[in-house]
Structure 1
Protein backbone atom coordinates (compact mmCIF):
# COMPACT_ATOMS: atom_id res chain seq x y z
CA UNK A 1 0.00 0.00 0.00
CA UNK A 2 1.49 3.39 -1.00
CA UNK A 3 2.03 6.07 1.63
CA UNK A 4 -0.79 8.36 0.44
CA UNK A 5 -3.36 5.55 0.51
CA UNK A 6 -2.12 4.46 3.93
CA UNK A 7 -2.38 8.02 5.29
CA UNK A 8 -5.95 8.35 3.93
CA UNK A 9 -6.89 5.04 5.54
CA UNK A 10 -5.53 6.21 8.89
CA UNK A 11 -7.42 9.54 8.63
CA UNK A 12 -10.66 7.75 7.73
CA UNK A 13 -10.25 5.32 10.61
CA UNK A 14 -9.50 8.11 13.09
CA UNK A 15 -12.60 10.00 11.94
CA UNK A 16 -14.87 6.99 12.39
CA UNK A 17 -13.38 5.98 15.75
CA UNK A 18 -13.66 9.55 17.04
CA UNK A 19 -17.29 9.53 15.94
CA UNK A 20 -17.97 6.28 17.84
CA UNK A 21 -16.05 7.60 20.83
CA UNK A 22 -18.19 10.76 20.93
CA UNK A 23 -21.32 8.61 20.93
CA UNK A 24 -19.79 6.48 23.68
CA UNK A 25 -18.99 9.61 25.67
CA UNK A 26 -22.56 10.90 25.30
CA UNK A 27 -24.03 7.60 26.50
CA UNK A 28 -21.57 7.42 29.40
CA UNK A 29 -22.56 10.93 30.47
CA UNK A 30 -26.24 9.92 30.41
CA UNK A 31 -25.49 6.88 32.57
CA UNK A 32 -23.40 9.00 34.91
CA UNK A 33 -26.26 11.44 35.50
CA UNK A 34 -28.51 8.54 36.48
CA UNK A 35 -26.21 6.61 38.83
CA UNK A 36 -24.32 9.66 40.22
CA UNK A 37 -20.76 8.26 40.51
CA UNK A 38 -19.83 11.08 42.89
CA UNK A 39 -21.77 9.08 45.52
CA UNK A 40 -19.26 6.21 45.38
CA UNK A 41 -18.13 5.05 48.87
CA UNK A 42 -21.06 6.82 50.54
CA UNK A 43 -23.08 3.59 50.90
CA UNK A 44 -26.06 5.22 49.19
CA UNK A 45 -28.28 2.76 47.25
CA UNK A 46 -29.37 3.51 43.69
CA UNK A 47 -33.12 4.09 43.64
CA UNK A 48 -34.79 4.32 40.24
CA UNK A 49 -38.38 4.42 39.06
CA UNK A 50 -39.27 2.07 36.21
CA UNK A 51 -38.94 4.80 33.56
CA UNK A 52 -35.43 5.80 34.60
CA UNK A 53 -34.45 2.13 35.03
CA UNK A 54 -35.46 1.45 31.42
CA UNK A 55 -33.50 4.51 30.32
CA UNK A 56 -30.41 3.20 32.12
CA UNK A 57 -30.83 -0.24 30.51
CA UNK A 58 -31.04 1.39 27.06
CA UNK A 59 -27.95 3.51 27.70
CA UNK A 60 -26.00 0.51 29.03
CA UNK A 61 -26.95 -1.54 25.97
CA UNK A 62 -25.78 1.32 23.75
CA UNK A 63 -22.42 1.48 25.52
CA UNK A 64 -21.92 -2.27 25.09
CA UNK A 65 -22.94 -2.17 21.43
CA UNK A 66 -20.63 0.76 20.64
CA UNK A 67 -17.72 -1.04 22.28
CA UNK A 68 -18.45 -3.94 19.91
CA UNK A 69 -18.52 -1.51 16.98
CA UNK A 70 -15.01 -0.36 17.90
CA UNK A 71 -13.84 -3.96 17.48
CA UNK A 72 -15.74 -4.32 14.20
CA UNK A 73 -14.29 -1.08 12.83
CA UNK A 74 -10.76 -2.17 13.77
CA UNK A 75 -11.39 -5.47 11.96
CA UNK A 76 -12.46 -3.45 8.92
CA UNK A 77 -9.22 -1.45 9.02
CA UNK A 78 -7.28 -4.71 9.11
CA UNK A 79 -9.13 -6.00 6.03
CA UNK A 80 -8.48 -2.76 4.14
CA UNK A 81 -4.79 -2.96 4.97
CA UNK A 82 -4.60 -6.65 4.17
CA UNK A 83 -7.51 -8.22 2.21
CA UNK A 84 -6.23 -11.69 3.14
CA UNK A 85 -7.01 -10.92 6.78
CA UNK A 86 -10.69 -11.71 6.09
CA UNK A 87 -9.73 -15.40 5.99
CA UNK A 88 -8.71 -15.19 9.65
CA UNK A 89 -11.93 -13.56 10.86
CA UNK A 90 -14.64 -15.36 12.77
CA UNK A 91 -17.80 -16.37 10.93
CA UNK A 92 -21.13 -16.17 12.76
CA UNK A 93 -24.64 -17.37 12.05
CA UNK A 94 -26.52 -14.09 11.69
CA UNK A 95 -30.18 -13.12 11.98
CA UNK A 96 -30.34 -9.84 10.07
CA UNK A 97 -33.58 -8.65 11.70
CA UNK A 98 -31.85 -8.92 15.07
CA UNK A 99 -28.86 -6.96 13.79
CA UNK A 100 -31.08 -4.12 12.54
CA UNK A 101 -33.04 -4.09 15.79
CA UNK A 102 -29.78 -3.86 17.72
CA UNK A 103 -28.58 -0.97 15.51
CA UNK A 104 -31.92 0.80 16.03
CA UNK A 105 -31.49 0.63 19.80
CA UNK A 106 -27.89 1.81 19.54
CA UNK A 107 -29.11 4.89 17.68
CA UNK A 108 -31.89 5.70 20.19
CA UNK A 109 -30.00 8.70 21.51
CA UNK A 110 -29.39 10.21 18.06
CA UNK A 111 -32.97 9.43 16.97
CA UNK A 112 -34.42 11.25 19.98
CA UNK A 113 -32.09 14.19 19.39
CA UNK A 114 -33.14 14.40 15.73
CA UNK A 115 -36.82 13.61 16.56
CA UNK A 116 -36.68 10.83 13.97
CA UNK A 117 -38.35 7.46 14.51
CA UNK A 118 -36.85 4.21 13.23
CA UNK A 119 -39.54 1.63 12.45
CA UNK A 120 -38.85 -2.06 11.74
CA UNK A 121 -41.53 -3.91 9.77
CA UNK A 122 -41.19 -7.66 9.49
CA UNK A 123 -41.91 -10.88 11.31
CA UNK A 124 -39.28 -10.96 14.05
CA UNK A 125 -40.17 -14.61 14.69
CA UNK A 126 -38.87 -15.59 11.26
CA UNK A 127 -35.46 -17.02 12.10
CA UNK A 128 -33.80 -16.71 8.72
CA UNK A 129 -30.05 -16.78 9.18
CA UNK A 130 -26.93 -16.73 7.03
CA UNK A 131 -23.21 -17.12 7.58
CA UNK A 132 -21.32 -13.83 7.82
CA UNK A 133 -18.03 -12.38 8.98
CA UNK A 134 -18.23 -10.46 12.24
CA UNK A 135 -17.84 -7.12 10.43
CA UNK A 136 -21.47 -7.56 9.30
CA UNK A 137 -22.41 -5.85 12.59
CA UNK A 138 -21.51 -2.45 11.19
CA UNK A 139 -23.75 -2.81 8.10
CA UNK A 140 -27.19 -2.05 9.64
CA UNK A 141 -25.65 0.58 11.89
CA UNK A 142 -24.22 2.49 8.92
CA UNK A 143 -27.49 2.33 6.97
CA UNK A 144 -29.67 3.51 9.86
CA UNK A 145 -27.18 6.13 11.02
CA UNK A 146 -27.03 7.53 7.49
CA UNK A 147 -30.84 7.62 7.23
CA UNK A 148 -31.37 9.27 10.62
CA UNK A 149 -28.55 11.75 10.08
CA UNK A 150 -30.01 13.12 6.84
CA UNK A 151 -33.70 12.99 7.87
CA UNK A 152 -35.50 16.22 8.80
CA UNK A 153 -37.18 16.38 12.23
CA UNK A 154 -40.37 14.43 12.90
CA UNK A 155 -39.80 11.97 10.06
CA UNK A 156 -39.69 8.15 10.09
CA UNK A 157 -37.03 5.79 8.80
CA UNK A 158 -38.80 2.61 7.65
CA UNK A 159 -37.01 -0.73 7.55
CA UNK A 160 -39.10 -3.38 5.81
CA UNK A 161 -38.25 -7.09 5.67
CA UNK A 162 -39.76 -9.21 2.87
CA UNK A 163 -39.10 -12.95 2.75
CA UNK A 164 -38.78 -14.76 -0.59
CA UNK A 165 -37.83 -18.40 -1.20
CA UNK A 166 -34.06 -17.91 -1.28
CA UNK A 167 -33.65 -14.25 -0.41
CA UNK A 168 -34.48 -11.90 2.43
CA UNK A 169 -35.06 -8.39 1.09
CA UNK A 170 -34.39 -5.48 3.43
CA UNK A 171 -35.55 -2.04 2.29
CA UNK A 172 -34.51 1.07 4.23
CA UNK A 173 -36.62 4.08 3.24
CA UNK A 174 -36.08 7.59 4.52
CA UNK A 175 -36.64 11.22 3.56
CA UNK A 176 -33.54 13.21 2.79
CA UNK A 177 -31.70 15.47 0.34
CA UNK A 178 -32.47 14.51 -3.26
CA UNK A 179 -29.73 12.57 -5.03
CA UNK A 180 -29.37 13.50 -8.69
CA UNK A 181 -29.54 10.66 -11.22
CA UNK A 182 -25.95 11.05 -12.32
CA UNK A 183 -24.84 10.87 -8.66
CA UNK A 184 -26.41 7.52 -7.74
CA UNK A 185 -23.56 5.36 -9.05
CA UNK A 186 -21.02 7.55 -7.28
CA UNK A 187 -22.53 7.27 -3.78
CA UNK A 188 -20.55 4.12 -2.99
CA UNK A 189 -17.26 5.76 -4.00
CA UNK A 190 -15.03 6.62 -1.10
CA UNK A 191 -15.52 10.21 0.13
CA UNK A 192 -18.26 11.01 -2.37
CA UNK A 193 -21.22 13.06 -1.13
CA UNK A 194 -24.13 14.25 -3.24
CA UNK A 195 -24.46 17.92 -4.14
CA UNK A 196 -27.61 18.45 -2.05
CA UNK A 197 -26.18 16.56 0.93
CA UNK A 198 -23.17 18.87 0.93
CA UNK A 199 -25.51 21.86 1.24
CA UNK A 200 -26.76 20.66 4.63
CA UNK A 201 -24.66 22.65 7.08
CA UNK A 202 -26.01 20.68 10.06
CA UNK A 203 -24.96 17.34 8.60
CA UNK A 204 -21.24 16.96 8.12
CA UNK A 205 -19.96 13.69 6.66
CA UNK A 206 -16.94 12.22 4.92
CA UNK A 207 -18.73 10.08 2.35
CA UNK A 208 -17.72 6.78 3.96
CA UNK A 209 -21.00 5.20 5.07
CA UNK A 210 -22.28 3.82 1.76
CA UNK A 211 -18.73 2.99 0.66
CA UNK A 212 -18.38 0.68 3.68
CA UNK A 213 -21.89 -0.72 3.12
CA UNK A 214 -21.03 -1.60 -0.48
CA UNK A 215 -17.73 -3.17 0.60
CA UNK A 216 -19.42 -5.39 3.20
CA UNK A 217 -22.20 -6.38 0.79
CA UNK A 218 -19.62 -7.45 -1.82
CA UNK A 219 -17.87 -9.61 0.78
CA UNK A 220 -21.10 -11.48 1.55
CA UNK A 221 -22.71 -11.75 -1.90
CA UNK A 222 -25.48 -9.31 -0.92
CA UNK A 223 -27.07 -7.38 -3.77
CA UNK A 224 -27.18 -3.67 -2.93
CA UNK A 225 -29.35 -1.09 -4.72
CA UNK A 226 -29.88 2.64 -4.17
CA UNK A 227 -32.81 4.75 -5.39
CA UNK A 228 -33.69 8.40 -4.94
CA UNK A 229 -37.16 9.67 -5.83
CA UNK A 230 -38.11 12.91 -7.51
CA UNK A 231 -38.05 16.08 -5.43
CA UNK A 232 -41.23 16.44 -3.34
CA UNK A 233 -40.37 19.49 -1.24
CA UNK A 234 -37.60 21.91 -0.29
CA UNK A 235 -36.27 22.50 3.21
CA UNK A 236 -33.98 25.49 3.70
CA UNK A 237 -33.78 25.68 -0.08
CA UNK A 238 -32.51 22.09 -0.40
CA UNK A 239 -34.51 19.60 -2.55
CA UNK A 240 -35.74 16.57 -0.56
CA UNK A 241 -37.22 13.24 -1.64
CA UNK A 242 -37.58 9.59 -0.64
CA UNK A 243 -34.27 7.72 -0.51
CA UNK A 244 -34.23 3.91 -0.59
CA UNK A 245 -31.52 1.34 -0.01
CA UNK A 246 -32.43 -2.28 -0.75
CA UNK A 247 -30.43 -5.32 0.32
CA UNK A 248 -31.13 -8.74 -1.19
CA UNK A 249 -29.58 -11.22 1.23
CA UNK A 250 -29.21 -14.91 0.24
CA UNK A 251 -29.96 -17.36 3.04
CA UNK A 252 -30.08 -21.05 3.78
Structure 2
Protein backbone atom coordinates (compact mmCIF):
# COMPACT_ATOMS: atom_id res chain seq x y z
CA UNK A 1 0.00 0.00 0.00
CA UNK A 2 2.74 2.40 0.97
CA UNK A 3 4.43 1.66 -2.36
CA UNK A 4 1.38 2.85 -4.29
CA UNK A 5 1.23 5.98 -2.17
CA UNK A 6 4.88 6.69 -2.94
CA UNK A 7 4.29 6.15 -6.67
CA UNK A 8 1.25 8.45 -6.58
CA UNK A 9 3.18 11.09 -4.73
CA UNK A 10 6.00 10.86 -7.28
CA UNK A 11 3.55 11.19 -10.19
CA UNK A 12 1.88 14.19 -8.58
CA UNK A 13 5.26 15.79 -7.95
CA UNK A 14 6.29 15.20 -11.56
CA UNK A 15 3.03 16.70 -12.80
CA UNK A 16 3.52 19.67 -10.52
CA UNK A 17 7.03 20.21 -11.87
CA UNK A 18 5.75 20.02 -15.48
CA UNK A 19 2.89 22.41 -14.76
CA UNK A 20 5.24 24.84 -13.01
CA UNK A 21 7.76 24.72 -15.85
CA UNK A 22 5.01 25.37 -18.38
CA UNK A 23 3.64 28.22 -16.30
CA UNK A 24 7.10 29.75 -15.94
CA UNK A 25 7.78 29.35 -19.68
CA UNK A 26 4.40 30.90 -20.55
CA UNK A 27 5.07 33.77 -18.16
CA UNK A 28 8.51 34.37 -19.71
CA UNK A 29 7.03 34.30 -23.22
CA UNK A 30 4.31 36.75 -22.19
CA UNK A 31 6.91 39.03 -20.66
CA UNK A 32 9.08 38.87 -23.79
CA UNK A 33 6.03 39.58 -25.93
CA UNK A 34 5.17 42.58 -23.74
CA UNK A 35 8.77 43.79 -23.98
CA UNK A 36 8.79 43.57 -27.78
CA UNK A 37 5.38 45.25 -28.05
CA UNK A 38 6.57 48.09 -25.81
CA UNK A 39 9.78 48.39 -27.84
CA UNK A 40 7.78 48.67 -31.07
CA UNK A 41 5.49 51.28 -29.51
CA UNK A 42 8.42 53.21 -28.06
CA UNK A 43 7.23 52.81 -24.46
CA UNK A 44 9.71 50.20 -23.22
CA UNK A 45 11.23 50.56 -19.74
CA UNK A 46 12.94 48.15 -17.40
CA UNK A 47 10.61 46.71 -14.76
CA UNK A 48 12.81 44.31 -12.81
CA UNK A 49 16.26 44.89 -11.38
CA UNK A 50 17.40 41.52 -10.04
CA UNK A 51 20.05 39.04 -11.10
CA UNK A 52 17.72 36.88 -13.23
CA UNK A 53 18.34 36.14 -16.90
CA UNK A 54 15.13 37.97 -17.84
CA UNK A 55 16.23 41.07 -15.99
CA UNK A 56 19.58 40.93 -17.76
CA UNK A 57 17.76 40.66 -21.09
CA UNK A 58 15.63 43.69 -20.18
CA UNK A 59 18.75 45.71 -19.41
CA UNK A 60 20.40 44.73 -22.69
CA UNK A 61 17.25 45.54 -24.65
CA UNK A 62 16.99 48.91 -22.91
CA UNK A 63 20.60 49.73 -23.83
CA UNK A 64 20.05 48.61 -27.42
CA UNK A 65 16.90 50.73 -27.80
CA UNK A 66 18.60 53.75 -26.29
CA UNK A 67 21.53 53.40 -28.70
CA UNK A 68 19.16 52.87 -31.65
CA UNK A 69 17.11 55.93 -30.72
CA UNK A 70 20.28 58.02 -30.45
CA UNK A 71 21.54 56.73 -33.79
CA UNK A 72 18.19 57.43 -35.49
CA UNK A 73 18.11 60.93 -34.00
CA UNK A 74 21.65 61.61 -35.24
CA UNK A 75 20.73 60.40 -38.74
CA UNK A 76 17.65 62.64 -38.77
CA UNK A 77 19.68 65.62 -37.63
CA UNK A 78 22.31 64.99 -40.30
CA UNK A 79 19.64 64.69 -43.00
CA UNK A 80 18.02 67.90 -41.80
CA UNK A 81 21.39 69.66 -41.91
CA UNK A 82 22.07 68.40 -45.43
CA UNK A 83 18.60 69.45 -46.57
CA UNK A 84 19.07 72.92 -45.06
CA UNK A 85 22.52 73.22 -46.67
CA UNK A 86 21.19 72.23 -50.10
CA UNK A 87 18.31 74.70 -49.75
CA UNK A 88 20.75 77.46 -48.78
CA UNK A 89 22.98 76.66 -51.75
CA UNK A 90 19.98 76.67 -54.06
CA UNK A 91 18.82 80.03 -52.73
CA UNK A 92 22.27 81.63 -52.82
CA UNK A 93 23.12 80.43 -56.33
CA UNK A 94 19.79 81.27 -57.96
CA UNK A 95 20.71 84.85 -58.85
CA UNK A 96 24.31 84.16 -60.00
CA UNK A 97 23.16 81.31 -62.25
CA UNK A 98 20.38 83.44 -63.72
CA UNK A 99 22.91 86.21 -64.41
CA UNK A 100 25.28 83.74 -66.06
CA UNK A 101 22.53 82.56 -68.38
CA UNK A 102 21.46 86.14 -69.19
CA UNK A 103 24.98 87.39 -69.93
CA UNK A 104 25.73 84.29 -72.00
CA UNK A 105 22.66 85.02 -74.11
CA UNK A 106 23.59 88.70 -74.48
CA UNK A 107 27.13 87.74 -75.39
CA UNK A 108 25.94 85.32 -78.08
CA UNK A 109 24.00 88.17 -79.71
CA UNK A 110 27.14 90.27 -80.15
CA UNK A 111 29.39 90.17 -83.23
CA UNK A 112 31.93 87.55 -82.22
CA UNK A 113 34.66 85.55 -83.84
CA UNK A 114 33.91 81.83 -84.36
CA UNK A 115 36.03 81.08 -81.30
CA UNK A 116 34.11 83.68 -79.28
CA UNK A 117 30.80 82.15 -80.33
CA UNK A 118 32.01 78.75 -79.22
CA UNK A 119 33.02 80.19 -75.83
CA UNK A 120 29.63 81.90 -75.40
CA UNK A 121 27.85 78.64 -76.25
CA UNK A 122 30.03 76.76 -73.76
CA UNK A 123 29.24 79.27 -70.99
CA UNK A 124 25.51 78.96 -71.72
CA UNK A 125 25.68 75.16 -71.70
CA UNK A 126 27.57 75.05 -68.40
CA UNK A 127 25.13 77.50 -66.79
CA UNK A 128 22.23 75.29 -67.87
CA UNK A 129 24.03 72.24 -66.49
CA UNK A 130 24.61 73.99 -63.17
CA UNK A 131 20.93 74.97 -62.99
CA UNK A 132 19.86 71.38 -63.72
CA UNK A 133 22.24 70.02 -61.08
CA UNK A 134 20.97 72.38 -58.39
CA UNK A 135 17.33 71.58 -59.15
CA UNK A 136 18.03 67.83 -59.07
CA UNK A 137 19.92 68.11 -55.79
CA UNK A 138 17.07 70.04 -54.17
CA UNK A 139 14.49 67.48 -55.31
CA UNK A 140 16.62 64.55 -54.16
CA UNK A 141 17.39 66.11 -50.80
CA UNK A 142 13.75 66.92 -50.10
CA UNK A 143 12.64 63.43 -51.08
CA UNK A 144 15.28 61.78 -48.89
CA UNK A 145 14.45 63.88 -45.84
CA UNK A 146 10.69 63.64 -46.27
CA UNK A 147 10.20 67.37 -46.85
CA UNK A 148 8.50 66.42 -50.11
CA UNK A 149 6.23 63.43 -49.68
CA UNK A 150 4.69 61.29 -52.39
CA UNK A 151 0.93 60.76 -52.35
CA UNK A 152 0.13 57.62 -54.35
CA UNK A 153 -3.44 57.38 -55.63
CA UNK A 154 -5.15 54.81 -57.89
CA UNK A 155 -5.20 56.02 -61.47
CA UNK A 156 -4.56 55.40 -65.15
CA UNK A 157 -0.96 55.44 -66.34
CA UNK A 158 -1.53 56.58 -69.93
CA UNK A 159 -1.85 60.34 -69.17
CA UNK A 160 1.52 60.28 -67.40
CA UNK A 161 3.18 58.48 -70.32
CA UNK A 162 1.61 60.83 -72.88
CA UNK A 163 2.69 63.99 -71.02
CA UNK A 164 6.25 62.74 -70.57
CA UNK A 165 6.54 61.63 -74.21
CA UNK A 166 5.16 64.99 -75.42
CA UNK A 167 7.92 66.82 -73.52
CA UNK A 168 10.67 64.87 -75.28
CA UNK A 169 9.12 64.58 -78.75
CA UNK A 170 10.70 67.87 -80.00
CA UNK A 171 14.14 66.93 -78.68
CA UNK A 172 13.89 63.47 -80.28
CA UNK A 173 12.73 64.96 -83.61
CA UNK A 174 15.55 67.50 -83.58
CA UNK A 175 18.05 64.69 -83.13
CA UNK A 176 16.43 62.49 -85.80
CA UNK A 177 15.16 59.87 -83.35
CA UNK A 178 11.80 58.13 -83.68
CA UNK A 179 9.91 58.40 -80.37
CA UNK A 180 7.20 55.75 -80.29
CA UNK A 181 4.51 55.29 -77.64
CA UNK A 182 3.08 51.79 -77.79
CA UNK A 183 0.74 50.05 -75.30
CA UNK A 184 -0.25 52.73 -72.74
CA UNK A 185 -3.30 51.27 -71.01
CA UNK A 186 -2.83 50.27 -67.39
CA UNK A 187 -3.67 51.32 -63.86
CA UNK A 188 -1.64 51.49 -60.69
CA UNK A 189 -1.30 53.31 -57.37
CA UNK A 190 1.15 56.16 -57.86
CA UNK A 191 1.89 59.84 -57.44
CA UNK A 192 1.23 61.25 -60.92
CA UNK A 193 3.56 64.26 -60.64
CA UNK A 194 6.59 62.39 -59.35
CA UNK A 195 6.01 59.37 -61.57
CA UNK A 196 6.00 61.70 -64.57
CA UNK A 197 9.29 63.12 -63.29
CA UNK A 198 10.73 59.59 -63.15
CA UNK A 199 9.53 58.74 -66.68
CA UNK A 200 10.98 62.02 -67.98
CA UNK A 201 14.35 61.09 -66.47
CA UNK A 202 14.26 57.74 -68.28
CA UNK A 203 13.26 59.42 -71.55
CA UNK A 204 15.96 62.05 -71.13
CA UNK A 205 18.60 59.34 -70.84
CA UNK A 206 17.17 57.37 -73.77
CA UNK A 207 17.09 60.37 -76.13
CA UNK A 208 20.48 61.58 -74.91
CA UNK A 209 22.33 58.34 -75.63
CA UNK A 210 20.46 57.15 -78.74
CA UNK A 211 22.24 58.19 -81.96
CA UNK A 212 20.53 59.92 -84.86
CA UNK A 213 18.34 57.51 -86.79
CA UNK A 214 17.65 55.41 -83.72
CA UNK A 215 14.42 54.64 -81.89
CA UNK A 216 13.07 55.25 -78.40
CA UNK A 217 9.90 53.35 -77.44
CA UNK A 218 7.65 53.75 -74.40
CA UNK A 219 5.13 51.12 -73.40
CA UNK A 220 3.14 49.95 -70.37
CA UNK A 221 3.12 46.29 -69.37
CA UNK A 222 0.67 45.02 -66.75
CA UNK A 223 1.50 42.24 -64.33
CA UNK A 224 -0.40 40.75 -61.41
CA UNK A 225 1.13 42.96 -58.72
CA UNK A 226 2.81 45.75 -60.73
CA UNK A 227 2.46 47.82 -63.85
CA UNK A 228 5.72 48.64 -65.61
CA UNK A 229 6.49 51.73 -67.69
CA UNK A 230 9.22 50.53 -70.05
CA UNK A 231 11.51 52.91 -71.94
CA UNK A 232 13.61 51.19 -74.61
CA UNK A 233 16.32 52.69 -76.81
CA UNK A 234 18.73 51.68 -79.54
CA UNK A 235 21.70 53.36 -77.91
CA UNK A 236 25.13 51.92 -77.07
CA UNK A 237 23.85 49.76 -74.22
CA UNK A 238 25.35 49.26 -70.76
CA UNK A 239 27.84 46.61 -69.72
CA UNK A 240 26.74 44.10 -67.10
CA UNK A 241 29.40 45.39 -64.72
CA UNK A 242 28.05 48.93 -64.85
CA UNK A 243 24.35 48.02 -64.66
CA UNK A 244 24.60 47.67 -60.88
CA UNK A 245 26.22 51.11 -60.54
CA UNK A 246 24.18 53.41 -62.77
CA UNK A 247 21.51 54.12 -60.13
CA UNK A 248 24.09 55.54 -57.71
CA UNK A 249 24.16 59.28 -57.15
CA UNK A 250 26.45 61.12 -59.63
CA UNK A 251 27.60 57.90 -61.29
CA UNK A 252 28.22 58.16 -65.00
CA UNK A 253 29.13 55.27 -67.28
CA UNK A 254 32.66 55.19 -68.66
CA UNK A 255 31.48 56.02 -72.17
CA UNK A 256 29.12 58.84 -71.12
CA UNK A 257 31.61 61.56 -70.26
CA UNK A 258 30.93 63.48 -73.48
CA UNK A 259 27.13 63.45 -73.09
CA UNK A 260 25.31 66.20 -71.22
CA UNK A 261 23.99 65.43 -67.76
CA UNK A 262 25.08 65.33 -64.13
CA UNK A 263 24.51 61.68 -63.23
CA UNK A 264 21.60 62.14 -60.83
CA UNK A 265 18.52 61.39 -62.95
CA UNK A 266 18.52 57.61 -62.49
CA UNK A 267 19.22 57.99 -58.77
CA UNK A 268 16.22 60.30 -58.44
CA UNK A 269 14.09 57.87 -60.47
CA UNK A 270 14.98 55.05 -58.11
CA UNK A 271 14.12 57.22 -55.10
CA UNK A 272 10.71 58.04 -56.61
CA UNK A 273 10.02 54.37 -57.36
CA UNK A 274 10.96 53.20 -53.87
CA UNK A 275 8.97 55.97 -52.16
CA UNK A 276 5.78 54.56 -53.67
CA UNK A 277 6.52 50.87 -53.19
CA UNK A 278 8.05 50.20 -56.60
CA UNK A 279 11.47 49.68 -58.13
CA UNK A 280 13.50 50.26 -61.29
CA UNK A 281 15.11 47.56 -63.42
CA UNK A 282 17.49 47.76 -66.38
CA UNK A 283 18.03 45.25 -69.17
CA UNK A 284 20.77 46.01 -71.67
CA UNK A 285 22.88 44.46 -74.40
CA UNK A 286 26.03 46.42 -75.24
CA UNK A 287 25.87 47.65 -78.80
CA UNK A 288 22.13 47.05 -79.14
CA UNK A 289 20.39 49.25 -76.57
CA UNK A 290 18.77 49.31 -73.15
CA UNK A 291 15.35 49.01 -71.56
CA UNK A 292 14.58 50.72 -68.26
CA UNK A 293 11.42 49.55 -66.50
CA UNK A 294 9.72 51.57 -63.78
CA UNK A 295 7.58 49.20 -61.72
CA UNK A 296 4.74 50.71 -59.68
CA UNK A 297 2.31 48.68 -57.54
CA UNK A 298 -1.21 48.04 -58.77
CA UNK A 299 -2.57 47.97 -55.21
CA UNK A 300 -1.50 49.90 -52.14
Same fold (TM over 0.5): yes
Aligned residues: 181
Map residues 33-182 of structure 1 onto 2, 5 A cutoff.
76=139, 79-80=142-143, 83-87=145-149, 92-124=153-185, 126=186, 128-132=187-191, 134-182=193-241
| Runs of 4+ displaced beyond 6 Å | 72-75
Query: What corresponds to 1:57 in structure 2?
Result: none
Structure 1 75/5 Cα, relative in aligned 2: closer, same or farther at 3 Å? closer
Q: State the TM-score, normalizing by the size of structure 1.
A: 0.61
Query: What corresponds to 2:57 in structure 1?
Result: none
Q: Greater strand share, 1 or 2? A: 1
1:104: Cα distance to partner?
0.8
CA RMSD of aligned residues (A): 3.4
Structure 1 95/78 Cα, relative in aligned 2: closer, same or farther at 3 Å? farther
- CA–CA distance in structure 2, aligned partners of residues 6 and 164 of structure 1: 41
Q: Which structure: larger Rg?
A: 2
What are the Cα deviations for residues 48-99 of structure 1, in whole angstroms up to 9, with x where unaligned? Answer: xxxxxxxxxxxxxxxxxxxxxxxx969825624x723235x65554432211
Counterpart pick for 2:290 among 234, 239, 243: 243
Alignment pair present for 1:222 and 2:278: yes
Q: Secondary structure at the match of 2:238?
A: coil
Structure 2 spans left out of the alignment, 5+ residues: 1-77, 102-134
- CA–CA distance in structure 1, aligned partners of residues 242 and 141 of structure 2: 29
- CA–CA distance in structure 1, aligned partners of residues 265 and 141 of structure 2: 17
Higher RCO (CA 8 Å, separation ≥ 6 residues): 1
The answer as to whether partners of 2:273 and 2:295 remain within 8 angstroms in 1 is no
Q: State the TM-score, normalizing by the size of structure 2.
A: 0.52
Structure 1 spans left out of the alignment, 5+ residues: 23-71, 232-240
